[in-house]
Structure 1
Amino acid sequence: MFKKLLVLGIVLSILISSIGIATSAEKVTIKFSTWGSPEEVNINKELIAEFEKRNPDIHVELLYIPGGEYWQKIQTMVAGGTPPDVMFSGTMWSYDLFSRGAVIDLQPYFEKDSKFKNIKDYYIFKKPQLASLYKDGKAMFGLPGRTNVNLLYYNKTSFDEAGVAYPTDKWKWDDFLKAAQKLTKWDGNRMVQAGTTVSNWHAWLNLWIFQNGGFMFNKFAHPTKCTLNSPASVSALQFIQDLVYKYHVAPTPAQSQALPGGFMTGKIAMEVGGAWSVEQYRQIKEFKWDVAPPPGQKIKANHVRVGAYSILSQSKYKNEAWKFLSFLFSPEGHEIAYSKVAIWNPDLVSVGNNRNSYYYKLPGLPEHYYYRVTEMEIPNLFPGEVLHPNASKILDTELPTGLDSMFLGKESASETVKKLVPKIDTLLKEK
């Protein structure tokens, strides 16, 4: 009887041990949501594979959501109690969720992580004026990465044919306008090549307003007043409208339809836009092109747009989620991402300032690609977005809708903002 009990005890002990081993070896699964191009998806898969290789106890499930559906889908998941553990998003979206308690404060994790002891090696942390892109007071609602500034793209072949000198970092709006006038081509009354182009996107408008010494709002963090009606802002907006309807160097909405492909197809000689377009434009074979800093005016300025990596409050695996974020921002994770595509500005100063680094080795990069990095070091570098619960509603909806009459040439800039500013001020008062 004793032997039977002993054998039974041994068997039970083995079973219990086996169960214990299985439990301890069980992987934790964290979900990571993002959007992006096929190239970005592949990079994220490679990053996940390397992270899992280094951390066999953690499995990362990639949730790819198309950009146009992303914000609505994330809000639905949060409301339904099934959000991802880690979320990549725009600053405005991340802060929106943080203000509702759906995203945690990352500052305690950040302060304890040895990878971030040398914060001077991160461009974004070197500029105190950019803090509103990832912090609300002392709380960090998102780890900022995948940064971008603005560049002036120009068709060197068109410049050569028109006998126009290439842009320099000393250019101002008048230089830009004179070049655009010489580069614009017509076939009778039909524009066949535009000198430049315009946009009603808030990030694009912000750049010109900054260059003219103006701002859209009275402050970046928790603004209380829209300042689009200031003389500097109105003057910048009027210059933008004049490029289309006074100087005729940028296409009207109707003319744009006859210039398919824009800069990529040589239909636009100069384009001011986000540096992420380098990834697409480095495939150009039909003409020569290059980049320069955007033309300045009263001041030399640029703005930064960043992606925010956040951890959701409902996550059961916050420590594992931070471990994944920490890897993404490590030198190893940085090289995997930034040696494959030219979509983003480098996060690491040691990489961006070394023109022999992997960041500059991609094929098809323009001669003056380094301007993308040096623009991160200029004094007047501002956040591309504001910190406010209604930021997305204001910048993505109210602003472009309110500026329609200006972009259609129906009203002047001053007439347009006179109607628009009170509407934005009302939204700023809402909490």
Structure 2
Amino acid sequence: MGKKWGHLSLASAIVMSLLAACGGNANGPDDKAGAGNGTEKQPEKPKEPVEISIFHYNGTWGEEQNNKVFAEPITKKYPHIKVKAITYKDPKQLEEMVVSGNIPDLIITTPGPGFETTIRKFEGQTDLTPFIKQFNYDLGALDEAAVGSVRSLSTKNELYSLPVYMAPNTIYYNKTVFDKFGVAYPKDGMNWDDMYELAKRLTRNDNGVQYRGFLASYVHLMRLNQVSQKLFDSTGQKVAFDTSEFKNYLKDIFRIFELPGYDMDKIPLSYNPLFLKDQTVAMIEPGGTLLGEESLAALGNNWDFTSFPSMKDRPGVGSQPYPFIISMFNTSKHKEAAFEAMAYLTSAEYQTAATKQGTLLPVLKDKSIVRQFGQDSALYKGKNVGALLPKQFAPVPNEPFSEYTATAQNELYGIYVKVVQQKADINTAFREATEAANKKIEEIKAGKK
């Protein structure tokens, strides 16, 4: 939907938060600390209290988790900033907030569909460059690839976001399902052949209950593919994802979902409840996110990580890196406070503490911090945290920014639905997706003339 802000004027909505200045009068005789010494400065007056909101556009996190991980640490660091953490409920939620005028100050999304369907969709971009200069923010402390992923969101070198945490590339598995069927737990280093054989052994119907060996977020399988498939040709105006390498890669994975008993047309595309609530899935890639303690509670302590499968000819190579990013809506009335919050969430202080607590995977250039993941959390005691990230990420495709990215991605994801759920021929699905994407791009271009 190309909906604009309606009655809101973005230009007039850009209002900087005026913070209280430092105190000025000389110390008086009643000021014991400064009595008799007119040269000493008074303590700074407390900054004016402000309230900002952060919308975490991630459906796997609960309200308690969002408050604990984002809101509370910011307020502890900056007592004058009260933070309201908004938890994702449904796809219409942000649109309803825009219509009502209750637009969040900050939003945490992914740099792909998340950014396109939130900030970009409602033309809410804010270039952070002036704030980076104002606050002497050290952008060089962040992972270069992660920063590159947000740089690619603009055409004129604007920086609309900061990477805030890295998405894991791992498999969660439920030991209870393995134990039920007497199957040995998975080991790190599996390739897709190994995963296929393991999933086959775990896909069973037991007393009318259908169990499946493995499920994964289709968005991440497609977009973060391990062959680093480009979306577009060199012009950025025609899709170019119909390649034999990409199709062969997907066939290797899709055969799992063709095993007897999978019946993919009978289950929703949101697979996490089948793993967390129903406990009828043995292994899952949960959409490039860490599952919180609240989500994992039903599994007790009977779960663990194993490494994401690699291609047989590329052992140890996982998916492409995918940081979650934090962006500021240009309607925020407290931009300076909002940037202070962004800066803190991406600081070494916060990132190290969050890593040790096991709440986030860091986006810092210093990779030694990753080894400290979960050391202060009982949730990860004895867990295989080394499997959270691959030995090596697949390269991010080197392609220019395209304003038609969302259009291309939507058609790309449709291939999964057609092939896996509707049992369409993969070559036909790719051809139709290519034709549909290019047609829509031409329609968009024609509409601008």
What TM-score do you get using the length of structure 2 for normalisation? 0.70
How many angstroms does 1:41 deviate by? Answer: 2.6
| Distance across 1 between alignment mates of 2:362 and 2:272 | 31
Aligned to 2:386: 370
Aligned to 2:337: 320
Aligned to 2:67: 41
- Choose from 253, 265, 288 the match for 1:253: 265
How many angstroms does 1:40 deviate by? Answer: 0.8
Aligned to 1:106: 128
Q: Which amino acid aligns with 2:289?
A: W
Equivalent residues of 2:210, 2:261 under 8 A apart: no
Equivalent residues of 1:327, 1:333 under 8 A apart: yes
How many angstroms does 1:93 deviate by? Answer: 5.1
How many angstroms does 1:369 deviate by? Answer: 1.0
With over 3 angstroms needed to count, the CA separation of the structure-2 counterparts of 1:382 and 1:37, relative to structure 1, is farther
Q: Following superposition of structure 1 onto structure 2, how do residues 212-231 of structure 1 map, counting pairs within 5 Å?
A: 213=227, 215=229, 217-218=231-232, 223-231=236-244
Return 5+ residue gaps in structure 1 as ranges: 1-23
How many angstroms does 1:234 deviate by? Answer: 2.1
**Bigger helix share:** 1
Return 5+ residue gaps in structure 2 as ranges: 1-44
Equivalent residues of 1:164, 1:182 under 8 A apart: no
How many angstroms does 1:49 deviate by? Answer: 2.0
Equivalent residues of 1:304, 1:382 under 8 A apart: yes
- Choose from 181, 195, 215 the match for 1:176: 195
Aligned to 2:187: 167
- Choose from 310, 313, 318 the match for 1:295: 310
Aligned to 1:192: 210
Aligned to 1:424: 437
Q: Following superposition of structure 1 onto structure 2, how do residues 109-128 of structure 1 map, counting pairs within 5 Å?
A: 109-110=131-132, 113-114=135-136, 116=138, 118-119=140-141, 122=142, 124-126=143-145
Aligned to 1:345: 361
With over 3 angstroms needed to count, the CA separation of the structure-2 counterparts of 1:403 and 1:332, relative to structure 1, is closer
- Greater C-alpha radius of gyration: 1
With over 3 angstroms needed to count, the CA separation of the structure-2 counterparts of 1:98 and 1:278, relative to structure 1, is closer
| Distance across 1 between alignment mates of 2:364 and 2:297 | 22
Equivalent residues of 1:88, 1:309 under 8 A apart: yes
Aligned to 2:94: 71
Q: Which amino acid aligns with 1:378?
A: Q
Deviations 1:5-33 (A, max 9, x none): xxxxxxxxxxxxxxxxxxx8772635333
How many angstroms does 1:337 deviate by? Answer: 4.4
Aligned to 2:34: none
Aligned to 2:417: 404
Q: Which amino acid aligns with 2:52?
A: K
| Distance across 2 between alignment mates of 1:298 and 1:398 | 28
With over 3 angstroms needed to count, the CA separation of the structure-2 counterparts of 1:127 and 1:327, relative to structure 1, is closer
Deviations 1:143-192 (A, max 9, x none): 111320321223445556545473322x221111122222222349x663
- Choose from 246, 253, 259 the match for 1:233: 246
Aligned to 2:169: 150
With over 3 angstroms needed to count, the CA separation of the structure-2 counterparts of 1:322 and 1:255, relative to structure 1, is closer
How many angstroms does 1:46 deviate by? Answer: 0.8
Partner-residue secondary structure (3-state), 1:378: coil
- Choose from 119, 124, 138 the match for 2:157: 138
**How many residues were matched structurally?**
385
Q: Bigger CA drift: 345-354 or 229-238?
A: 345-354
What TM-score do you get using the length of structure 1 for normalisation? 0.72
| Distance across 1 between alignment mates of 2:334 and 2:183 | 61
Partner-residue secondary structure (3-state), 1:424: helix
Equivalent residues of 1:32, 1:62 under 8 A apart: yes
Q: Which amino acid aligns with 1:254?
A: K
